[in-house]
Amino acid sequence: MAISISPYQLNVPQETLDDLHDRLQRTRWPQSFNEQGWDYGTNTQYMMELVDYWLNQFDWRKQEALINQYEHFKAQVDDVGVHFMHIPGKGPNPMPLCMLHGYPWSWATFLRIIPMLVDPQAHGGMAEDSFTLVIPSLCGFCLSDQVPRKAFGFQHHPAVYRQILHQLGYQKYGLYGGDWGGIITFPWGHQFPEDLLGIHINYMGQRMRDERPEDERGDDLIRGFGLANAPIRPRDPESLKFWKAAERFWIEQSGYSHVNMTCPQSFAHLVADSPTGAAAWIVEKYHQWSDCNNNIEEVFSKDELLTNIMLYWINNTFGTAIRIYYESHYHPWSVKPGERIEVPTGILSFPKDIVPLLKSRAEKYYNVVRFKYMERGGHFGIFECADQYAQDLREFFAPLR
């Protein structure tokens, strides 16, 4: 791959912000009734409150300045432009760690934990446990460009970010992933295990490989969308527990995923035109998937929610980000039965995640040397429980440096 890297600074044109302001003022609100709550999706009263704050109190330039305190770059890797942050550690020998976000979040979800990893001594840790962070916007997400070709699935991401790491001089490094970032660690560990000092995740996909026994593979068996590789009758209690949770997710919460997997461009027209609509689509997931006791602002402030949303809006990447669902669905990748990633792996399982991880299943796919069930936290665990997550990352990678 050919690669070039240039400095980058986030500086949104004022006309983009003015256009956003005009669109927010013209929001056409849907009908609702008081008893809806969040049962039908994003609560309309909350969205009215959030948009009012967005219009009248949210200070994007302040958030932009906080973001720009870190060094940003844009890499051109063949035909893909990739934004990334490169943040040097403050310890005596910082370990390079590549951090991969998911959807509908961004690297803004890491802003709370970054200081704890870069300068652990200032946050209750030891200086020798510091990390130098390389944090890309996933291809097609936020400040990165869309991939200008078909069939670029999650399995193609590792080669792009690996090239950036090597260009920066990091031949050996650690890897963190959550949501799609967690899924991407799987092909990365399979394709480039020689690079990796260790992997740390808090999410695995449900479609790692075909997990059906031979007697459940007939073409005449009906398969649930998203559960095509799941056993119909899990043979052991742990497997049953996992797949029942996955079934609940696919039936009750995965409408967004079906849209993303089947008609991302149709949806892209909606979210490219309406910032309120785009925000509502994202806010629902932050409410639904976090351990927030039905009060989203117990976990995420309005500034934090809107900063994440802005990173999608300013580069019009709501639609390009969700292509990873389509490409990965129609161009799947998996390992053969019995294969797993042998890179040492640490895992945190959060109780309010969409499908909490089970150690027994994780061990089928990764060389799990550290596994911990957390007492609280959800899908955004690295943000919700940043202190505990930072400590676990430091402890896991300490013997692997």
User: Does an H or E element contain 7, and which?
Assistant: strand 3-8
Judge whether residue 344 has pLDDT over 70: yes
pLDDT for residue 1 is more than 70 = no
For 70, residues 6+ apart whose C-beta sits below 8 A from its C-beta are: 85, 87, 114
DSSP code string of 187-210? HHHHH-GGGEEEEEES---S-SS-
DSSP label at residue 128: G
pLDDT score of 222 more than 90: no
Using DSSP, state whether 248 is helix, strand or coil.
helix
206 band by pLDDT with thresholds 50, 70 and 90: confident
Residue 235 lies in a domain: no
Q: Pairing between strand 131-136 and 80-87?
A: antiparallel
In the chain, the N- to C-terminal Cα span, in Å, equals 28
- The values of phi and psi at residue 33, to 5°, are -140, 155
DSSP three-state, residue 101: coil
Distance separating alpha carbons of residues 158 and 235, to the nearest angstrom: 34
pTM for this predicted structure: 0.96
The answer on pLDDT for 4 being more than 70 is yes
User: Which residues, in sequence order, are CB contacts of 162 under 8 Å at separation 6+?
Assistant: 188, 192, 195
> Mean pLDDT throughout 182-209?
96
Quick: pLDDT tens for 56-97.
999 999 999 999 999 999 999 999 999 999 999 998 999 999
Strand ordering across the sheet containing 72-77: 3-8, 72-77, 80-87, 131-136, 95-100, 173-177, 196-201, 341-349, 366-373
Q: Residue 99: its pLDDT value, please?
A: 98
Axis crossing angle, helix 275-289 with helix 44-56, rounded to the nearest 10: 120
Distance, in Å, from the CA atom of 47 to the CA atom of 176, rounded to the nearest integer, reads 32
Q: What is the pLDDT of residues 103-137, one digit of tens each?
A: 999 999 999 999 999 999 999 999 999 999 999 99
In a domain, 227, yes or no: no
Residue 117's domain comprises 38-209+253-400
8 A C-beta contact, residue 170 and residue 197: no
Task: Decide if pLDDT at 21 tops 70.
Answer: yes
- Provide the pLDDT for residue 377: 97
pLDDT averaged over every residue in the chain: 95
CATH number for the domain that contains residue 195: 3.40.50.1820
With respect to residue 9, please indicate whether it lies within any of the assigned structural domains.
no
Q: Band of the pLDDT at 229, cuts 50, 70, 90?
A: confident
Distance CA 101, CA 138 (A): 7
- Give how many domains the chain has, as a whole number: 1
For the cut 70, the answer to whether the pLDDT of residue 276 exceeds it is yes
- Residue 260 identity (one-letter amino acid): N
> To 10 degrees, what angle do helices 275-289 and 264-273 make?
110
Query: What pLDDT is attached to residue 370?
Result: 98
Within a domain: residue 2? no
Residues in contact with 231: Cβ distance below 8 Å, sequence separation at least 6, in sequence order: 211, 212, 213, 216, 239, 243
What are the residues whose beta carbons fall under 8 Å from the beta carbon of 169, sequence distance 6 or more? Answer: none
- For 307-319, what is the mean pLDDT? 96
Look at residue 344 and tell me if it is in a domain. Answer: yes
Average pLDDT over residues 140-167: 96
| DSSP string for 26-80 | T--PPP--GGGTTTTSS-HHHHHHHHHHHHHT--HHHHHHHHTTS-EEEEEETTE
